[in-house]
Structures are given as structure tokens and as C-alpha cells.
Structure 1
Amino acid sequence: MKILHTSDWHIGRTFHTHSTLEHLRQVLDALAAVVAERRVDVVLVAGDVFDSATPSADAMKLLQHAFRSIREAGATIVATSGNHDSITRLGFHAEWIRLAGIHVLTEHGRLDEPVTLEDEHGDVHFYGIPYLEPALIRHDYPGVELRTHEQALTFAMQRIRDDRGRRGSRSVVLSHCFAAGVAASDVERDISSGGLDLVPASVFADADYVALGHIHGRQTISESVRYSGAPLHYSFSEAGKPRGGWLVELGPDGLGTVEWLDLPVPRTLVQLTGELDELLTDAAHDEHTGCWVKAVVTDRVRPIDGIRRLQARFPHCVAFEWRPSVVAEDSAASYGERVKGQSDGQIVAEFLAHVRNGVGPTSFETALVEELLAGERASEVTA
């Protein structure tokens, strides 16, 4: 059986206020083409199908399009919910769409009821563990201590092992969680401090394959426990990370080969660093005009209207950071102490240097200030 492991579609997410729906459609269409080309039997979505608990109509239409395309390509779909999903909304039509070969598993009370599919070697049981927030589920299990994600996932996996012991055969587990020992980017928003969300990979022992979601970058915890990452880049911290999914093959005795399949990146991300004039004129940056651009400007003085000027060259420049290459040292003396006894012109010059990272007035500014001060002194004399 060939299984394509994906996760974290985040349908409806924006990128610096820009819609990602069209780019995601391109990637999911490519995914459906891979399903047909590689004769994939099952596509997994390990949580965070949507980015919001209240997805828009356009987001719902894209999910419908993607599921239909994958089914037409020949694969069964097994998906579970993540921390961004609404269990109720995502699972609302689960009872009916499973008749079409689309299995959406969102109920923690039924996580030990697998979707069972068959190949030439027998049954494969797919168990979907939705995102388990201990505070929201512990009242359903009064005899079990569920204060951390580790406790919640340990409890869930024990239920799955008990069921698998009765059924036998091979098994695949989908889970949306933060496994200990992996690196997260700045978009996994619900990782709490103190380690309460960490889940040791050992919790998932005994499953033939564990398809994890929540981390947006490809990660291999062990040969049989992996993250596929998200299909799009949703943060500049993810720039350069591959996008795609794991093609997992189960043989008669369990896990066989695991192969990474790349998916297209509709628009790459790049961070450009330098002084504004350099970024605007250097021919080396011509190749980045079609990219999502984060500009880190190193001018000593913050440029006026910098991002608008950058967007004239880089239409998709969506992030701007001023990070001066030279930072003036703070004086131990207060501002009042530094300007005490100075002339009005010197006070203005000191103020400009104070607010512009040590850069004082230009000759034009000095002449302008002198002209204004002279006019002010003349008016005082005639008054």
C-alpha cells in the first residue's frame, strides 16, 4: 500500500495580509497529479486542514476541490483535525463523505475506531488522533490524569494499542502534536512554555508508521515517525525549507520504503539585506523581483517611505525591517546634560543625532536650521 503523508494545509491562511488560496490550489493540484502518477492508494492530512475555526466560503470550496481531485486521481483520503481546526465544522459531514472514500477523524471518543483499508497483504488500520487539548477533554475521562499533552497522547495510544491487539495486522497513526526534539518555526503558535506541550516520540512506539502534523518543516524523528510539514511557506523563517510529502510504502510485514516527494513552490521567499540604494539598484537582485521579499535595510538613518520604494522594484515585498549596520553608543549623560549651555543650533543638531542613530544634520539641514533660527531672532527683536 502506498501512502502519501501530508499535513498543515492551513486553507485560508494569509501571508502578510495576502491570500494564499490560489497558490495552495496550485500545490494541491500538483499533489493530485502525483497521486495519479505514483499510483498512491491513501493520502493523509495530519491536522490543521483549515487555518481558522470559521473558514470562509472560498476556503471551503478549495477543500472540496482538493478532495475531489485527489479522489479522482485514485486515492482514499484520511484526515484528522489540528489545533486550528474546528472539530465540529471539519467533521460535520464526516458520516456521509466517508461513503465517497473521504475519512475525516475528529472525535477523541472514537480515536480507537480505525479506518480499515485492504491491499493484497491484508488489512491496514488507520487511527486518527485529533489535536488533544487536555483542559478540554479531561472531564470526559474522570479516572485518568490528563494535565499535559504527553499524558493525553499516552492515553490515546494505549487505547489504540488495545484495539490493535484485538484486530492485529498493520497500523498507521495520524497525530497533530509537538514531538520533543524537533525545531519549530515562528508559525506554530500554540506551543506553550515549560514543556507542557512536548510529547516524547516513544509514545508512538509499535505503530508501523506515524504521520505527524503541527511542525511546518519536514522532520524525521525516527524511520517510522515523521513530520511532512506544510505545503506552502507561511513565514520567512521557513524560507528554503522543502515543501512536499512522504511517500510511504507498507509491505506485508509493515513499513517498507519511505521517499520524499517535492511539491512546487509557487512563489519563493527571500530575505534581502543591505542599504536601501543598494537593494534598489544592484543587478544581483534582479532574480528576486518575483519573490516574496523581506527587506532588512541597514542604512544608519531609517529611510523615508522605504517599503513603498522597494515595492516599485519588488512588487511582492511584504516585510520591512530597519536594522542599522552601525549603532551609536548610548551616552551615560542624559540628553539634558549633553545640550546644557549649547546654542540653539547645537541643540537641534544634537537632537537629530539622538533620534537618527548618531547621524547629525546634513549641510542643507544645518543651513535651513540657521535660517529659521535667524528669522526667529529677528522677529523677537522687532516685537
Structure 2
Amino acid sequence: MEPTAETLARWAHDYAPSAADLDLAQRSLLDTIAVTLAARQDDLVALSAGLPDAARWAAVGHVLDFDDLHLESTTHISVVCVPATLAVGGDARAYLAGAGMMARLGVALGWSHYAGGWHATCTAGAPAAAVSASVALGLSAERIATAIALSVPAAGGVQRAFGSAGKSLQVGFAADAGVRAARLAAAGATADPTALDAWLRLVGGDPDRIDVTGPAVPGGLAIKIFPCCYALQRPISALREHLPADVVASGITAIEVSTPEGAVQPLIHHRPRTGLQGKFSLEYAIAAALLDPHPGFGSFTDLAVTRPEAQRLLQLVAVTETPGGDGLLSGRIDITLTLSGGARYSVSQRLPPGSPGRPPSDQDLRAKIADCGPDVPALLTGLDWARAATLLADHLPGQRSGLT
């Protein structure tokens, strides 16, 4: 049987993008650059200044947790594959090759891999970044397979990093590892392509799940409307869309939540004290949705999370996790609020806005880009892949990789 790395490398080398694929690539480029520019003032910019381009751009692009997600693989595809592509001068086709690799490898890893505590964006991300960079460098299918194998030692990352700088940094490490592997393959380094199959089995994946048919990114990508973990998009939107406007947060005395356990897998902070922890807290997301007209960047700061009323509300939240669920949008979420006078209000939600089943409108996308900074809409006008790399180099200066 052909090694999985060779199957995926040949697919990536030969794939001819459709018009729909190219549309997805352009939307992903705009979304990723917008959320990266939105983080220009974050502390991580200085922390990551000494890292190579792909690592720095991916880490900063992920720190606000506003980047897209592939639901079937539970991976943040674009924040890995866009920086890896741009770092070596690639274009939409290189991005799509890596994105397709990441989607398929993430599916092969399976929900059990993610539920076991792995950060699939990193585990699937390093080989995917290797593919994007390899295609951008014009490598043969054989050399792409070698790059994939060379990236395997860096294919790691865990969910315990969620709520700290470690989460976005490990995404940066994955992107950079892929670029490094591609450059080594281009220089003639050797590696056994069966390493990918061996690694897949070690971390609970199944190579037989690999399917190279269909569009570049099967299932498409979910776009976030709120700058926090994707598992919070549904509870926030449930309250914003379905709760009567006259319900006042100060009158709430109890909050009951019912959700499939799989849908809250990454929400590990139940009593958050920082903005980063708040991005992975179901309890705080509910508080923010009740207190803020639009839970945006200002809702996920240290100051916002520690507001006395937010802390009071999050301590009222009682969560019942129903067994099962194999994804962040499994089943539905039900939220019931009890007010001081005894009145009760219940809301439910299956699909949040921005999900493939409820795709964002052009107006939604324009509003998101505008939220990322007053200068961002103008900066992104007419954006192409070459100018995107220049934008990131100009706005996120740091140590150049030296490998151009």
C-alpha cells in the first residue's frame, strides 16, 4: 500500500483549484490578515518578535482566537497555511494544497484525537504547512512527501495551553516547522514517507480515513463572528439572537445550560481571571453575551473578565453535559435564565452565524474586517498574496527568517 504521505503529496502536487476553491482561498486570506492585523497591539507581538516569519505571523494571527475553523477536523486551517504560504512567496494554490492536506489529515486523526487533549491545529498543522511551503517552492511530489515526513517530529500541541500565550505560540511553531521541513526537502534532505502513517497510529489516527476526492477543503470553513473559541460562538449567538431585549442581566438569579459534552471539549476555564482564559470559558461567554451589546475584543480583556457583574453571572451558571457529541456543533445548546421575580426564559441554538450551514454574508465579513481596526478595510482593499506578505512584514516587524 502506498504511504499516506505519498498519496497526499501527489494530490497536493497535481490538484487544480476550482473557481469555488479560489473564492475560499481569497476569503481565507482576507479573514486571516484582518485578524492578524487586529492583534498588532497584543503583548504577543513583542514576545514573538525573534521568531521566523511563519511562526510570528501564525502566532499573532491566532492570539485573538478570531481565525477560521474547519469543523470536520477541528483545526484552524488558515492561520497555519496562510502564514506558511506567505513566508515562502506562495499563492492561492499553495494555500489550498496545505489547507486540503490539513483538512484530510485532521479527519484521519479523528474526534478521539481532539477529545483526548491534542491541539489538532498543531498536530495536523505542521505537515499541512510543509505542503503549502513545498508547493510554493515548486517541489516535486516526491520531495513534498519528504517534507511531510520531516515535519512529523514537530506535529504536537496540547489543549492545556488554551487560555495562555502557549496556545498561539504552538500554532506558530507548527507553521514554522512545516516551512523548515519544506526548505530541508528542497535542499536534498531525506526522510521515510511512512513516518506519517506510523505517527498517525501512535496518536490515535487512522490512515484509512484519508480521502483525496472532492473540493480542496471538504465542508468549507467556519468564520468566527466573536473573537473567542469556536465552541462559544453558539451559546453567545443563542442569547443574542433569541433572548428578549428587555431581560436585564442584574435581575438574573440562575442560569442553566444543557449541551453535548463534545461541544464544550476545549472550554477548560470555569472561573476565568484573564481575557485569554475568558476565551475558553462557557460561563464567562454567557456572562459577556448578557452584559455586552456585541461581545467583541473589549469583552475579552482582563478588565472585562474580572468585572464584578461578570464574575457574579458566571458563578450562576450550572452546566449539564449530555453524553456524546463528536464535534463542536454536535446537537444543540439550551440555556434557561431565571429572574428574581420568578420568570424564566429559554433559548436554543444549533448553528451559529458564520458556520458553513449559516455562512456569513458579505456585510458580516465587512463588519468583521472593520472591527479589526479603523485602517484595516483600506489596507485589505485589492489584497493579493504578494501584498499580504508585505503587509505582515511591515506591520509585524521582527527577525527575518533569512531563508528567502
Structure with bigger RCO (C-alpha 8 Å, 6+ apart): 2
In our comparison, the structure showing a higher alpha carbon Rg is 1
- What TM-score results when the alignment is normalised by the length of structure 1? 0.23
Comparing both structures, which one devotes a greater share of its residues to helix? 2
Comparing both structures, which one devotes a greater share of its residues to strand? 1
- What TM-score results when the alignment is normalised by the length of structure 2? 0.22
